[in-house]
Structure 1
Amino acid sequence: MMSISGFAYRIGAVSDPRGMSAKAARRALRTAAVPLIAAAIALGASPAIAQDREQVKVAFAHTLPNVEGKRLVAVTVTYPPGAKSLAHHHAASAFIYAYVLSGAIRSQVGDEPAKIYHAGESFYEMPGSHHRVSENASDKESASLLAVFVVDSKDEPLTTPDKAPGSQ
């Protein structure tokens, strides 16, 4: 399984409540509902939270048959107005080519100054780069980009957010 961000949650089979007392059946349903509610909150079910974060979707992922040990992974990143990504690093082996599909993206890689890229423009990140800023440059329009990774086949995860100062 490839993970860009987020997490998976497995819910086990729920027993058939027939034969249970009504009280036991209600308790079983409440117990099953708690992880679902927690997952919804963690995944940003709140509209206020969802609006300030990017949405990442894998477009394709394929092993490169003529480059042993490498794969090509493409993801679309969509930013609602004013949204941004956390500062992050990508897999150590990843070379990334980014093409702005719509809107305008503000990006800062390493110690270079931040730059705004508009639809039709592109930039790249060298392996080991620190992506300090990646955000929608507009507070009014959505923006999106296509990021294409050339990465070692076993290098996971593709993106690791920076740790907050003071966290372990």
Structure 2
Amino acid sequence: MQFISTAKNALLVALLALAAGAQAHDGKHGDEVVTPLQHQALSDAAGKSGVMAVVAYGPGESSVAHRHPGSIFAYVLEGEVVSQLQGGATVTYKAGESWYEAPNTPHLVSRNASTTKPAKLLVWSLVQDGQPLTVPLEK
């Protein structure tokens, strides 16, 4: 039980660090709210954990450019989200659509497509123990 409590605390610290880092800029980006849902060590993948979270964007909100050290699977729960990975086109995903982000791929655009309605993503990630979920890109 102590391990699970420690793992949950580590996830919370990582998500709080993401939120703090994302807001240390011009205020027009990094407005998303990340709500952790689950963090589970994987018995069949030593040293890795599955992490699930909801990312919520208010109208017109966006994230700073970033990368994820682990694989990311994103599913739009509500609204529409505009996303662009380095080397790819800008794509608008609607509720019910999903995408995959390979580890360490720069995520250049991640924002709510609407200036009047909220948007929400369900995100699942496979992370190496001790790695952050998200790392802001250097300018």
Pick from 48, 61, 78: which aligns with 1:102?
A: 78
Percentage of identical aligned residues: 36
1:161 aligns to 2:136 (yes or no): yes
Q: Which residue of 1 aligns with 2:116?
A: 140
Which consecutive segments of 4 or more residues in structure 1 shift more than 4 A? Answer: 49-52
1:105–1:134 CA contact under 8 A, matched in 2: yes
- The answer to whether the Cα contact below 8 Å between 1:97 and 1:147 also exists between their aligned partners in 2 is yes
DSSP-derived class of the 1:6 partner: helix
Aligned partners of 2:54 and 2:134: how far apart in 1? Answer: 13
Unaligned runs of 5+ in 2: 1-9
Structural RMSD (CA):
2.0
More strand by share: 2
1:150 pairs, out of 115, 119, 126, with: 126
Q: Summarize the Cα distance change of 1:123–1:87 in structure 2 as closer, same or farther, 3 Å threshold.
A: same
Q: TM-score, normalised by structure 1?
A: 0.67
Is the CA contact (8 Å cut-off) linking 1:102 and 1:142 kept in structure 2? yes
| Structure of larger gyration radius | 1
Q: Which has the higher contact order (CA 8 A, sep 6+)?
A: 2
Aligned residues: 122
**One of 59, 77, 90 as aligned partner of 1:114:** 90
CA distance in 1 between counterparts of 2:89 and 2:127 reads 26
Letter in structure 2 aligned against 1:163? E
Aligned counterpart in structure 2 of residue 6 of structure 1, from 15, 19, 29: 19
**What SS class does the counterpart of residue 66 from structure 1 fall into?**
coil
Counterpart contact for 2:77–2:119, Cα < 8 Å: yes
Contact conserved, 1:51 with 1:80, CA < 8 A, in 2?
Answer: no
Q: What amino acid maps onto 1:102 in structure 2? A: E
Whole-angstrom CA distance in 1 between matches of 2:56 and 2:130: 26
